[in-house]
Copies of this chain bind each other. A is one copy, B any other.
């Protein structure tokens, strides 16, 4: 194998890898090549250590306790919230609500904001490239309220058409819910422009940042969105915690959603009054350990620098696109430029179904995802039942892209 070169100045992936115990294993006798980062990212030692530290020294329920452990747990929990807020450009920690994941954050908005503000005949504008998690909550809301979903189309270049967007956003538009980056095509959407259009009709913008917050610098002010959803498990953090950020004005116009301990002020038999945000939206015992262990994940990304993360992935994109294009029968879906996409490359190999590709790659230790990627509308737009997706992160290397390409050679041989 010739040693492929990428500039590799942005991130020293070889050094980064040493922080990720999971990466040093072999799978089916071959070194694990983990290229399924858009599904979930791997976890650095620092995050695992934070979980262990929590359970070994500080485990206690938050907020309600006077004793030492409860105070320590509460302090760390709130510190993580503040860190996450700053990570996305928000100084007021209380505008960040911890959820289980991005999906729950979006459902929270659909209920707490949507049920109050969306009515019969209103429109919610989505795009065809949304993940099911940014479609189904709005379908359920639309069904409850008699509203309608309107979809912006994906062009043949894998991009949205801003002119179409401008036409679709009108007086009936009550909400615009779009992804920052597509989990299939990689496409990075022009959020600030779209938010500007939405602002002119007074419609808030919900940004699904599940695929962007892990991979590029996200700043709520520059983006101009009103709500933002993300998941820790896609950005080096643990499973079980995600977040909703909401602008102060929007928080003020939301009803409670999940009811229970911790979100109330006073409970009477028939009705209650509510605690201030963010507690109002965190009913019951939160994912305390996971939320606390999210902080070192954010810290890890900050230390790498989000611009470097982005640059590293552009380099991997460039190499992957180049190498895949050199193989006969490969079609790459989505924008062809490495800069136009997050670190996601979906492709087709003529005559071979993605599940067969994924199974054969797995025997070579290469983990990719095959399927509809929770984006059936994208599959229909592409005219395929499924795609094979390789997605990159800070620890991936040029060698691993070579391993992917070699694995595809084996696929070719089996199905030749």
Contact = CB atoms under 8 A, between A and B. Distances in A.
B289 A56 contact: no
Contacts of A264: 132, 136
A132 B40 contact: no
A283 to B, nearest CB: 5
A176 interface: no
A8 B56 CA distance: 26
B103 A290 contact: no
A124 to B, nearest CB: 11
A142 interface: yes
A259 interface: yes
Contacts of A68: 27-28, 362, 367
Interface stretch (A143-151, A299-307, A327-335): A143-151
Nearest to A140: B259
Interface string A61-76: 1001111111000000
Interface stretch (A9-17, A43-51, A85-93, A216-224): A43-51
B240 A241 contact: yes
B40 A60 contact: yes
A122 B299 CA distance: 51
A284 B104 contact: yes
B55 A39 contact: no
Interface string A93-107: 000000011111011
A137 B272 CA distance: 11
- Number of chain copies forming the complex: 2
A281 interface: no
A367 B69 contact: yes
A287 B287 contact: yes
A359 B271 CA distance: 32
Size category of the binding interface on chain A: 35 or more
A369 interface: yes
B285 A101 contact: yes
A28 B69 CA distance: 11
Given A139-B271, A270-B139, A285-B103, A290 B240 contact: yes
A120 interface: no
A136 B259 contact: yes
A368 B66 CA distance: 8
A139 B263 CA distance: 13
Contact of A285 (B132, B231, B258): B231
Interface in A363-378: 366-371, 374, 376-377
Interface in A150-165: 151
A31 interface: no
A202 interface: no
Contacts of A283: 103-104, 107, 133, 136
A260 B132 contact: yes
Contacts of A262: 132, 374
A39 B65 contact: yes
A148 B270 CA distance: 7
Contacts of A64: 39, 369, 371, 374
A323 to B, nearest CB: 20
Contacts of A142: 270
Contacts of A204: none
Nearest to A238: B289
19 contacts: A21-B56, A22-B69, A25-B57, A36-B65, A39-B60, A39-B61, A51-B51, A55-B238, A60-B367, A64-B369, A103-B285, A132-B264, A135-B259, A136-B272, A140-B259, A239-B286, A240-B288, A261-B374, A269-B377
Interface of A: 21-22, 25, 27-28, 32, 34, 36, 39-40, 42-43, 47-48, 51-52, 55-61, 64-70, 100-104, 106-107, 110, 131-137, 139-140, 142-143, 148-149, 151, 231, 233, 238-242, 256, 258-264, 266-267, 269-272, 283-290, 355, 358-359, 361-362, 366-371, 374, 376-377
